[in-house]
Chains A and B, each alone.
Chain A
Amino acid sequence: MATRLCVLLLISLLATGCSMFRRDKAPDSDEPELVVSGRSGQTQVIDPEVERREITVPKVDTEDFEVGAFAGYMSVEDFGANPVIGATFAYHITEKWFIEAGVGTTDTEETSFEVLSGGAQLLSDSERRLTYYNLSMGYNVLPGEAFTGKRRAFTQSLYLIAGLGSTEFGGDDHFTVNFGLGYTLLPKDWFAVRFDFRNHMFDSELIGVKKTTNNLEFTLGVTFFF
């Protein structure tokens, strides 16, 4: 089963991705200092020859969360391409890695068979609505600046994203693998415009034969960091 393989691949990718979160930083040894670590308040002071040096731990506003809304088109295999809307919520772990939860919905249309047959209906109206939920892992690549005219530049980045989730369609829930890529443009450092191109893959038996469907989605969204 194709999705099974995708799942294995994804999980192993996620696992290797995680191992990269660690900050590889050698402790600087030239100056002894007091290190405050988390809530435990452990102290680690060594050389008594040297005077102990205090440190300050400033409280700074963090903006690691990103919330957004999007709209676009989603092509559902055999059921036409139709408008899709949705929302995302993301947490940025490092400058490269982020995790994102997403939800989206689209109302699909009749298959060619249903149209040509004149009256046959494969699905009821409520079953025609497709809704997906997913949790994905994203990786920022190719960061840089985009120039508009001589004086203005916006920061921008591409990202690769993949994840797992569930899709409700045709009166059934389908285990779904998603993957794709996107482009982020930041007019302000707290506000971003996103283009996202995603494939949602799930196994479906709706037209009588079991097959893995590829459901391509293209959306434009806005997100806010907070």
Chain B
Amino acid sequence: MHHSINPAWGGLTLVVLILLFIPGLAQAKKPPVHVQIADPYIELHTGPGVGYPVFYVADRGEWILIQKRRTDWFKVQTESGKEGWVDRDQMEETLGPSGRKTRFEDPDFAAYGASRWKGGFMAGEFGGANVISVFGSYSLSPNFSTELWLQRVLGNFSDQTILDVNIVYTFIPEWKVSPFFGLGTGVVLTQPKGTVVQPEDRSDQASHVGVGARWYMSRRFVLRAEYKNYVVFTSRDDNEEPDTWQLGFAFFF
């Protein structure tokens, strides 16, 4: 049953593939950027963080070459060949070749609003069991989006895999914190654990309604919390109506 490819080897293969592509990525480098220091001086740290020591100070008027960026730190090379990391705040006090001020772009709330594709991870509780989920979302309009969800419920007596499609209406998309409402349908695959009397896998249709809120945090990140009420249409007399609470992240592309 479990003779499929080992996922860790799959992961390692992926790592190797990415590594093979890194030289290609490096070749696709953007042209070098030179900026001139406009502050009295800037500080070069040994690493990309405020905790790494300052080992060199470059003076006003000196031209520096920006090599790369990691989070809010820039690796630069001075005219004298010193290489170090400079904080974004100091980098924004430099001037470009035409004497114009430098600014660095970040994905912001406006970019979030303009983006169509989003994805995320959630975790929480589903009918008393733990659940972990992954979803992708496509915006049809500022208010409406459609989502595809894959959820894995890990319970005491059974495990469930739920595949859902839903429509989400965001009430006030121009607010950083906005409530939303959702409706959806999907399939629930239930695998009872070996210790239970009726160990047969079964699949049922399910629908749900949900409410929640999303909060744009910064950059590409959105915090999301939601409640959903499911109706699982079982072949027995009674339908199941599990509730689910989940909290997680969404990010946009």
A residues at B contact (CB < 8 Å): 3-4, 7, 11, 14-15, 18-19, 21-23, 25, 31, 33, 35-40, 42, 53-64, 67-69, 85-87, 89, 92-96, 99, 103-105, 126-127, 129, 131, 133, 135, 140, 142-145, 153, 155, 157, 164-166, 168, 171-175, 186, 189, 205, 224-226
Contact = CB atoms under 8 A, between A and B. Distances in A.
Considering the complex of A and B, which 6 residue pairs feature the smallest CB-CB distances, nearest first? Answer: A87-B11, A56-B96, A143-B51, A105-B8, A38-B111, A155-B47
B108 interface: yes
B2 A127 contact: yes
A22 B217 contact: yes
Interface stretch (B29-37, B180-188, B232-240): B29-37
B247 to A, nearest CB: 5
Contact of A62 (B8, B68, B103): B68
Contacts of B103: 35-36, 55-57
Contacts of A171: 194
A64 to B, nearest CB: 6
A135 B52 contact: no
Contacts, number: 208
Given A64-B71, A186-B47, 14 more contacts: A7-B123, A15-B247, A18-B249, A22-B218, A25-B89, A38-B110, A57-B102, A64-B70, A69-B15, A94-B71, A126-B1, A155-B47, A175-B154, A205-B195
Contact of B68 (A36, A63, A172): A63
Interface string B90-131: 000000111011111111111101100000010110000110
Contacts of B113: 40
A36 B123 CA distance: 36
Contact of A129 (B2, B22, B52): B2
